[in-house]
Structure 1
Amino acid sequence: MLRLDGFGLFVNDMAKMITFYRDVLGFEIKESIDTEHVYLIKDDTLFLLYGRNSIEALTRSKFNYAKGISGHMEIALYVDTFDDVDLYYQKLLKADFEIVTEPETMPWGQRTFYFADPEGNLIEIGSFNKPFRR
């Protein structure tokens, strides 16, 4: 039986990405900004940042990378309240990150918005206005 262990992003500018995920989103990244790999357990999920050169050396492969906002995947993050969604939106807006959509309450009851991290990975912050439960 397969189980989702985690996911990784292939990073061009590790210092910028560590700073964003650690300082803006609050991920508990302990590695220094000059590392080639970040290994973090976040909410029971493995979150990795790999330097592009390192992953290409490890796999002995050359990859193509999207420019701008990537339409290949999304990282979904949950907060407990609609107010938290709006607070993160304001924080990211003031910090001049690329906002894709403004917060909106969807017909299925979720309040959500989308933005891009510094390397164009699409991120959603959303809530059903109650604490997260699996």
Structure 2
Amino acid sequence: MKLDGVGLFVNDMPTMIRFYRDVLGFEIKEAENAVNVYLIKNGTLFMLYERKNFEKMTNRKYEYLNGLNGHFEIALYVDTFEEVDLEFAKAIEKGARQNPERQSA
């Protein structure tokens, strides 16, 4: 058995599609009004599920944290520590926002 993919439950699908496609460079073929999205980055499958639609599909109601998303973590690989800062700067240039609590003084 091997890990095939990771599902993320999102509240604002258009914003999440733009973030993963335009900021992180994931290949996304679905339109921004899609309710479920399947995207691949370096051979790893990610599935974005619109929360309200997933609840309809499963006929269950779920509870989610408000504010910062604490439901998952994604690890993105780079070869060196210097590349972390470079990739972070690229993401900010493309519209990502830094968590104000993590800004250095």
- Relative to the length of structure 2, the TM-score reads 0.81
Are 1:91 and 2:78 an aligned pair? Answer: no
**Which residues of structure 2 form unaligned runs of 5+?**
none
RMSD (Å) for aligned C-alpha atoms? 2.1
**Alpha-carbon deviation of 1:22?**
0.3
Moved more, 50-59 or 68-77: 68-77
Q: How many Å separate the matches in 1 of 2:70 and 2:13?
A: 21
Helix, strand or coil for the counterpart of 1:8?
A: strand
- Relative to the length of structure 1, the TM-score reads 0.66
**Which residues of structure 1 form unaligned runs of 5+?**
104-134
AA matched with 2:54: I
Q: How many Å separate the matches in 2 of 1:72 and 1:35?
A: 21
Matched ranges for 1:46-125 at <5 A: 46-94=45-93, 95=95, 97-99=97-99, 101=102
Q: Does the 8 Å CA contact 1:89/1:102 hold for their aligned counterparts?
A: no
**Alpha-carbon deviation of 1:70?**
2.8
* CA deviation string 1:74-98 (max 9, x = no partner): 1111122333211122234453513
Q: How many Å separate the matches in 1 of 2:21 and 2:89?
A: 18
Please identify which structure carries the higher strand content: 1
Closer, same or farther: CA 91–44 of 1 in aligned 2, 3 Å? closer
Q: How many Å separate the matches in 1 of 2:2 and 2:62?
A: 26
Of all paired residues, the percent bearing the same amino acid is 54
Instruction: Report how many aligned residue pairs link the two structures.
Output: 102
